[in-house]
Amino acid sequence: MQNYIETRHKQFLTDFQTIVNIDSSSDNKGGIERVARFFEKRFNNIGLDTKVLFLGKDKVPCLYAEHKQENKPLKKKSDIMFLGHMDTVFSFGEVAKRPFSIKENKAFGPGVCDMKGGLLVVLHVLETLKHEGILDSLSVCVAFNGDEEIGSDSSKNWIMSTAKKSLRTFVFEPCRPGYRFVLQRKGGGNFRVIVKGQKAHAGADPEKGINAVVELAHQIVEINKLNQNDMETTAQVTVVAGGDKVNIIPSRAEASVDVRILKLQEKKRIETFFNTIQDRSCLKGSKIIVQGNIKRPPMESGALTQKLWKLIRSTGQKINLPMESISTGGCSDGNYTSAAGTPTIDGMGIVGANSHREDEYAELDSIDNMVLLVSKVCESIAIV
């Protein structure tokens, strides 16, 4: 297997250049579809059932491929879901400005590590498994969406339902330098609390007013109590505004709150707090309006995820890959697959850094290592 992967290193680089050099920002549907068509052809070549879907009212191009085991009763769930996104954060024209390039042992170009390199790891793993005769012992599915960088609104439900039909999900976001994989991601969302009161002269007749700033101040103290160290929940009031002039009782005040949670159970506590805030107003006649929700659930690391991580790490040790796991505040679509109840490991893509920046890079040495690692993990899953 290792030899085969090494002989295909050049092919990987050719593929890398091809897909990095397709502009595919989230608003560039044509570009995203071109990326999808590239993979469609290659997945078809190894016998996967592949289709390009256009999801949501925005018709976001997404790619679905699956491989069912031949001559075997259909499994209820696929063994592995391979998840990735084809969109990048870089606008049309970025490729012309700085096309795919290689300098020493790094590759550069828009989306090179976030996450076109990861998409190619998926392709080359499946091609390797096909070549080695392992693919037929596995039931796998591939889901590549085209709107991750803008929140996956059109593909979220599709990703979650695909995850529910899978025993485990591998997400091919970049692996952190030093082969650090992501087992936990915080979820979160923003809330906006708007208080409406009543204007009045601050000196002549303050009793006729309802001070929106005072009401908001009370609520901010309560919001601050949502912070829970042991749960690693944070709720931070980050922006506050209110009042017009020093001699007028303010009739309007508002605050923005950044909330992050590590445990899914915290979603309910936080949302209930905000949805019932009006019931706890302090000043008679004040009105409190709340906007927002916990948009992304956390990617939790439960017992099954830990078991899967053990398998990956021990496979890595066998091929002399020192590996670590980390927890991060940033979100990915792994948050959704985890919330769907499917054990999820993220960071299975190419090793790289500086995502969303012009100096984004991918480590070329990690190509063969990651293809080999993931192929070996799939082989162990096929044997079980």
In three-state secondary structure terms, 120 is: helix
Q: What is the CA radius of gyration of the chain?
A: 25
Residue 120 within binding range of Zn ion, rule CB under 5 A: no
What minimum distance in Å lies between the beta carbon of 229 and Zn ion? 29
Which residue number, 173 or 363, has a Cβ lying nearer to Zn ion? 173
Which residue number, 84 or 209, has a Cβ lying nearer to Zn ion? 84
Q: Which stretch binds Zn ion (CB under 5 A): 67-75, 114-122, 176-184, 266-274?
A: 114-122
Q: Which stretch binds Zn ion (CB under 5 A): 46-54, 111-119, 197-205, 313-321?
A: 111-119
What minimum distance in Å lies between the beta carbon of 313 and Zn ion? 23
Q: CA-CA distance, 140 to 173, in Å (whole number)? A: 18
Which residue number, 115 or 120, has a Cβ lying nearer to Zn ion? 115
Q: CA-CA distance, 338 to 330, in Å (whole number)? A: 14
Residue 23 within binding range of Zn ion, rule CB under 5 A: no
Which residue number, 183 or 212, has a Cβ lying nearer to Zn ion? 183
Which residue number, 173 or 215, has a Cβ lying nearer to Zn ion? 173
Burial class (CB in 10 A: 0-12, 13-18, 19+), 46: middle
Q: Which residues contact 281 (CB under 8 A, 6 or more apart)?
A: 215, 219, 287, 288
Q: Which of 66, 114, 147, 360 binds Zn ion (CB under 5 A)?
A: 114
Residue 119 within binding range of Zn ion, rule CB under 5 A: no
Residue 127 within binding range of Zn ion, rule CB under 5 A: no
Q: Which of 55, 62, 65, 115 binds Zn ion (CB under 5 A)?
A: 115
Residue 159 within binding range of Zn ion, rule CB under 5 A: no
Buried b (16+ CB within 10 A) or exposed e, 171-188: bbbbbbeebbbbbbbbbb
Q: Which stretch binds Zn ion (CB under 5 A): 42-50, 110-118, 138-146, 291-299?
A: 110-118
Q: In the complex, which residue's CB is closest to Zn ion? A: 114
- How far CA 44 is from CA of 48, 52, 73, 185, 189, in Å, comes to 5, 12, 22, 33, 39
Site string for Zn ion, 160-199 (x = CB under 5 A): -------------x--------------------------
DSSP string, 159-194: HHHHHHTBS-EEE-SPBBTTTEEEEEE-EEEEEEEE
Confirm if 184 and 299 have CB atoms less than 8 A apart: yes
Binding site for Zn ion (CB under 5 A): 114-115, 173
